[in-house]
Amino acid sequence: MFNKRTLAIIKRELKMKLFSKSFILMTLLVPLFMIGIFSVQYFVQSLSGEQRSDLIVISDSDEILNKVQNEIFQTGPFKSGDLTTRFEKIELANFKSKLNEFKPDILEQRITGVIFIPSTLLQSKGVEYYSSNPNNSSLFYKIKPSINKALVEIYFAGKLLTEEEIKFARKDVEINGFRVSSDEKVAEEGYGNRIAMVLFSFLLYMALIFSGSMTMNAVVEEKSNKIVEVLLSSASSTELMAGKILGTVIVEVIQMAIWLSPIVLLISTSWFLIPAEFMPQMSFGFILYFLFNYAIALITYVALYATVGAIFDNPQDAQSGVWPLLMLIMIPFFIALGMEANAQSSLAQIASLFPFSSLIVMPARMILVEVPLWQILLSCAINIVVLLGIFKLAGKIYRIGILLTGKKPKWSEVFGWLKMSS
């Protein structure tokens, strides 16, 4: 398989892709694109938090209304004008009829919502919020601490506690996480590793889909233009497929290394002055593992995409065979994002060792927690075994499909190709 003809095809792929305009543009634009995504997300969140809110606070208790009013008037959103409130005392029996009076204003968005704080909530702490948008988390972030502080102060008012004790009781607990690893260093965990986990997972997700789609389209184009017949006159189908895949993998790994170079400088030098809580805690060894894992993932998925391209004559038909491959990438990507809550859950541990999913989940898990060495090695072994199996099966389909033209083959026919001898 790996001979002078395969090397010639690899050189052809490198020459076509490494010095192409698309490679240069992608290398430069992807980091800017990712910065843009995070910037837009931050901008949207900041805009949603700055939206003006007009509230009506209702209670059957003057004491609750006065305390809540005092607390809300001290908040930043109220002082900046992002939050306006009106307080009304209404008996519990009359609340429903009063809410019906406010209903047209709520629906027309002349008021954001109505907060109902009954006196009975001193036992249950159950506040009711009525609005056309009852899941407004940015609004809850503004008002929840004020209501909680007021209720705590009222609850402990007659219990002979000092002001300092009441202040302590209404203060929320802050949990600061410290990473315990096999080395002697115990460091406080900030946001850096969580940001890095999202960044690395997104890079894997995007790069696998993009490189796979590019390979599939190139195979379809060469097949439809009869270029593949010229190439097969000087090399076998297995050599052609291996050369195209390895050439693509070399180009993509070089590109990924360029994308990761700022992170290498960030963790290995003091050139960048960023807050400690945003500094990712990872080693250069992890970067090397990530590139190795990325190469295995590329060979696996590019082989699958190239196989799909060899089956069909045009990109439109080829899209019908892409959806299973997309699911193999998308599902692990969402599992990786969900690990931010708990990277040691049963789902995270199983997914980090399961074929295909471990290619995306294991690197993300290694960023968040210290993974035992045996699990990393087992994951690599499983992925290499799957790679070899995929390469063998893909070679059989590629060898037959690359020369077939005309009628779109059925999937039953494709599976039948696997039974044919080489």
In sequence order, what DSSP letters do the residues of 336-366 get, joined into one string?
A: HHHTTT-TTSHHHHHHTTSTTTHHHHHHHHH
Report the DSSP pairing between strands 128-130 and 113-116. antiparallel
* 200: amino acid identity, one letter: F
- Domain range annotation of the chain: 4-35+190-417, 53-174
* DSSP conformational letter for 370: -
Residues 10-51: pLDDT tens digits? 888 788 777 777 777 877 777 777 667 666 655 665 555 456
Outline where 269-322 has alpha helix (H): 284-311, 315-318
332-345: average pLDDT = 86
Task: Report if pTM > 0.75.
Answer: no
pLDDT of residue 379: 95
Is residue 359's pLDDT more than 80?
Answer: yes
Name the band, by pLDDT with cuts 50, 70 and 90, for residue 8.
confident
pLDDT of residue 27: 78
Residues 78-95: pLDDT tens digits? 888 888 888 999 888 888
CA–CA separation, 415 and 126 (whole Å) = 60
3-state SS, residue 54: strand
Cβ distance 205 to 333 under 8 Å?
Answer: yes
Q: What is the CATH number of domain 53-174?
A: 3.40.190.10
CA–CA separation, 9 and 250 (whole Å) = 13
Residues 155-194: pLDDT tens digits? 777 676 777 776 776 666 555 555 555 655 555 555 667 8
* DSSP conformational letter for 278: G
Q: How many other C-beta atoms lie within 10 A of the C-beta of residue 98?
A: 15
CA–CA separation, 207 and 212 (whole Å) = 8
CA–CA separation, 366 and 369 (whole Å) = 5
* DSSP conformational letter for 125: -
| Most confident by average pLDDT, 44-53, 218-227, 364-373 | 364-373
pLDDT of residue 373: 92
pLDDT of residue 380: 95
Name the band, by pLDDT with cuts 50, 70 and 90, for residue 1.
low
Residues in the chain, overall count: 422
CA–CA separation, 227 and 240 (whole Å) = 12
What burial class does residue 31 get, using C-beta atoms within 10 Å of its C-beta: 0-12 exposed, 13-18 middle, 19+ buried?
middle
CA–CA separation, 12 and 307 (whole Å) = 20
CA–CA separation, 197 and 149 (whole Å) = 36
Residues 51-67: pLDDT tens digits? 678 889 998 888 888 98
Residues 92-145: pLDDT tens digits? 888 888 888 888 888 888 888 888 888 877 777 778 888 888 877 777 878 888
Average pLDDT, the chain: 80
Is residue 268's pLDDT more than 60?
Answer: yes
Cβ distance 304 to 394 under 8 Å?
Answer: yes
| CA angle at 323 for the pair 320 and 329, rounded to the nearest 5° | 155
Cβ distance 362 to 371 under 8 Å?
Answer: yes
Instruction: List, in order, residues 6 or more apart from 106 with CB less than 8 Å away.
Output: 113, 114, 130, 131, 132
Phi, psi of 43 (to 5 degrees): -65, -45
233-251: average pLDDT = 81
CA–CA separation, 290 and 360 (whole Å) = 10
